Homo-oligomer: A and B are copies of this chain.
């Protein structure tokens, strides 16, 4: 059978230049998050199909790569297919589509061996059989930090500080952490008279605010059949908070994170006053504390902004939610939130949980495009040795290489090619700056 050279549809081979940036970013991520007390964990790439199909994954559940049963189980499933043509019986597992569901299972399975609260760092590939598009792949790396077992907002604050410290070390600046709370979203909808059953539909439309503006949202809500008085009451609040709803394209010259925080606090207080009993005071006070604490203790150059239109897709969020926006990149480069009810689905026992995921692939893409230079890679030196080097001379060369490597230099020992000039040029492209040549008939 002919061998296929290209990777499977939608997946990619990663070339050395990108790997250098990935490896550097991975090292930095581990070091930074470790300094905040997070410990690495790993779950298998393959998960039970029952868990993957448990309605915790939203739209992603439609995109599962399913794994075929094996042996007798497959034979038996296939013979059943004749009378019951349901492809579901062919599979018992699939590739994970995120790291949150596996982490919940992991915690349920290992809670006795884990500290409490448990601060987990996970880096790993996930798979989604999405329609292939430019820059989006069917296998991609996710990088999540989660704090399980801590109900207080110290968890949210630490997650945001850890993530933004990391981004700062990767030379990103002037980005914005947008923050909201699912309970504010709900209270605003309740206050306006929407039924709880309609919240998800309303939020999906609200989520488009930065694309279609306040008028667009109004139009879509009315088209959905909601009464004009509810819609007007609802959008009346948003109009006070976000103006006409178009995204805040403030000139980056004028970037002022203290002003962002200040206007956020004002907006939160406005909402609190408007909603009255619809919103628990603690929710707005906590959001204020998160914003002021992050603004004051941050170690990177960014702003925190309360964004009452921030929705986050996943319905499992229960409290504060957040997202990273960067001007260089049209969309979100990461996000997260509190999901206090997911782990109970496995354990039967409620466990508070909050997580923050950075868009590793997008960050690598931004670094690649900005021609980011990996710092501190050390000297790269090439030894070019003539073919058929006698054993005793080869030994001397290898001993010299050993010494230099022990001193931190990369030494690439290669056979000298006929076109030595071209060989050196190619190696220079790979970052080799020093060359040493060894000939069979010369002393060294």
A residues touching B (Cβ–Cβ < 8 Å)?
A: 1-8, 11-16, 19-20, 22-23, 27, 30, 34-37, 39-48, 50-51, 53-54, 65-68, 70, 74, 78, 81-82, 85, 87, 90-93, 95, 105-106, 108-110, 113-117, 119, 125, 127, 129, 138-139, 150, 152, 154, 157-158, 161, 165, 288-289, 292-293, 296-297, 299, 345-347, 380, 382, 385, 387, 391, 394-395, 398-399, 401-402, 405-406, 408-415, 426-427, 430
Contacts and interface: CB of A to CB of B under 8 A. Distances in A.
Contacts of A47: 7-8
Contacts of A165: 405
A35 B5 contact: no
Contact of A411 (B35, B42, B50): B35
Among A16, A34, A47, A345, residue most surrounded by chain B Cβ atoms (within 10 Å): A16
Contacts of A345: 3
B3 A50 contact: yes
* 5 interchain residue pairs of minimum CB distance: A37-B412, A297-B398, A11-B44, A19-B40, A14-B42
Contact of A5 (B39, B82, B105, B406): B105
B414 A117 contact: yes
Contacts of A127: 45-46
Contact of A2 (B7, B50, B70, B157): B50
A3 B154 contact: no
A418 to B, nearest CB: 13
Contacts of A115: 426-427, 430
A42 B67 contact: no
A153 to B, nearest CB: 9
A345 B125 CA distance: 29
Contacts of A15: 41, 110, 113-114
A45 B15 CA distance: 15
Contacts of A427: 115
Nearest to A44: B11
Contact of A297 (B7, B53, B158, B395): B395
A20 B34 CA distance: 10
A30 B292 CA distance: 40
Nearest to A285: B391
A93 B95 CA distance: 13
Given A48-B4, A346-B3, A405-B36, A289 B394 contact: yes
B30 A23 contact: yes
Given A35-B409, A297-B398, A66 B65 contact: no
Nearest to A430: B115
Nearest to A104: B3
21 contacts: A5-B347, A7-B44, A12-B44, A13-B41, A13-B109, A15-B114, A35-B405, A35-B408, A35-B409, A36-B411, A37-B411, A46-B138, A65-B67, A78-B81, A117-B414, A154-B394, A158-B413, A289-B394, A293-B398, A297-B399, A299-B406
B41 A19 contact: yes
Contact of A395 (B37, B48, B292, B414): B292
Contacts of A34: 410
